[in-house]
Amino acid sequence: MAKWGQGDPRWIVEERADGTNVNNWHWTERDATSWSRSKLQEVLVGLVVEGEAGRCEICELKQVEGEASCSSRKGRLIFFYEWNLRLSWKGTVKESGEKHKGSIEIPNLSEENEVDDTEINVSKKKGEGDILKELMRTEGTTKVREALRDYLKALKTEFTLGMILPTKAAGQELAAERELSGNTVQESASPHLLDLVGVKIPTVRILMREIFNSPADELYSIFTTKELIQKFSKCPAVIEAEKGGKLLMFDGCVSGEYTELVPGQRLVLKWRCRNWPDEHYATVVLNFKDMAAETELQVECKGVPVSTEDSTRQWWKKQYFEEIHNLLQQSKDNMD
């Protein structure tokens, strides 16, 4: 047993009047069931499978039985999930134009099995059309497994955003390890650097680049116009696109304010995730580089808590970049 004052600082709560469970070091648990139901619906429904036989589409998630949760203990995340799923699919035979329906059952999606080993059963209603059943059994099963991997990846990144935040000591250890190893993680040749902000929260700077099929002015407006933000985020938002104006997105998961606005060229935001420490904000700088019909978006996120680095990067890629690409494509399709 450690002597008084010599224990791991993450266990020491006597200096806090409220005895708070600092950075969720002790056992904490979050229920992921409701979030998982929505995410499974999102990744599975609408999947399209096409081949020589015809075209099929998963049209409904008819049964979602089970639960999911994430626990943290001593800075480690522990996941539990167990699902019994039943999906409906419909399809059209390429040569005859005949339409058929069927179902897909996934009786045991759980942390005990790898996705590749998870049982997936495909069936079809009586009648002709076995050729479509075979299409769903082969290529369809492959796509369903990819969607299940997307769900699990989101569970371990998007859902857990901010659950574990290391202490000053942990951050200093990480900084020392990186300095000694001499390794610098890079993305698209952009350096990924470690900063220590204040005395409590070790942070990193994340640099990303993305090309959008849109003029700079149009892309800039997607980050400053309430209606467009609500379209790509698929959630109500509070947007006051002026210096000092409020920013609230993704059902309150992201908040902040606009601190600098140069139309069509540059945005600077105070930006935070709901599960970050109170009053801790990253500084997000968006530079819009006009390239004729395209725009290169340069993103710098400075002051991101170390433990949320990967999940924050995934959040920007999934919730911002991919959804904005989808919005721009929808706008183009509507014009065509």
What pLDDT, on the 0 to 100 scale, is given for residue 74?
63
Taking the C-alpha atoms of residue 269 and residue 282, their distance in angstroms, rounded to an integer, is 8
What pLDDT, on the 0 to 100 scale, is given for residue 279?
85
For residues 289 and 213, membership in a common domain is answered with yes
- 37 assigned to some structural domain: yes
Number of helices followed by number of strands (H, E) in the chain = 8, 16
- 186 assigned to some structural domain: no
What pLDDT, on the 0 to 100 scale, is given for residue 163?
58
Going by DSSP bridges, is the β-strand pair 201-212/282-291 parallel, antiparallel, or unpaired? Answer: unpaired
Give 153-187 pLDDT, tens digit per residue: 888 887 877 555 444 444 444 444 333 333 333 33
For residues 37 and 150, membership in a common domain is answered with yes
Give 191-224 pLDDT, tens digit per residue: 333 343 333 578 889 999 999 999 999 999 999 9
The two tokens of residue 266 are 């540059």
DSSP state letter for 3 = P
Contact 168, 23 (CB under 8 A): no
Average pLDDT, the chain: 81
Out of 156, 189, 211, a domain closes at 156
For residues 139 and 233, membership in a common domain is answered with no
For residues 313 and 208, membership in a common domain is answered with yes
Q: CATH number of the domain at 59, please.
A: 3.15.10.20
Tally the domains of the chain.
2
For residues 235 and 118, membership in a common domain is answered with no
- Region of poorest pLDDT, from 67-81, 129-143, 203-217, 219-233: 67-81
Contact 163, 24 (CB under 8 A): yes
- 15 assigned to some structural domain: no
Give percent of the chain with pLDDT exceeding 70.
Answer: 78
- 172 assigned to some structural domain: no
For residues 150 and 255, membership in a common domain is answered with no
Boundaries of domain holding 67: 28-156
For residues 133 and 228, membership in a common domain is answered with no
- 112 assigned to some structural domain: yes
Give 284-319 pLDDT, tens digit per residue: 999 999 987 899 999 999 999 888 888 899 889 999
For residues 147 and 208, membership in a common domain is answered with no
Out of 122, 156, 190, a domain closes at 156
Residues 120-141: what's their mean pLDDT? Answer: 89
The two tokens of residue 288 are 């819009």
Q: CATH number of the domain at 303, please.
A: 3.30.530.20
- 319 assigned to some structural domain: yes
Contact 223, 267 (CB under 8 A): yes
- 11 assigned to some structural domain: no
For residues 56 and 130, membership in a common domain is answered with yes
Contact 123, 103 (CB under 8 A): yes
For residues 148 and 217, membership in a common domain is answered with no
Among 15, 34, 44, CA closest to 104? 44
Out of 156, 191, 212, a domain closes at 156
Residues 224-246: what's their mean pLDDT? Answer: 94
- 182 assigned to some structural domain: no
Residues 12-29: what's their mean pLDDT? Answer: 48
What pLDDT, on the 0 to 100 scale, is given for residue 243?
95
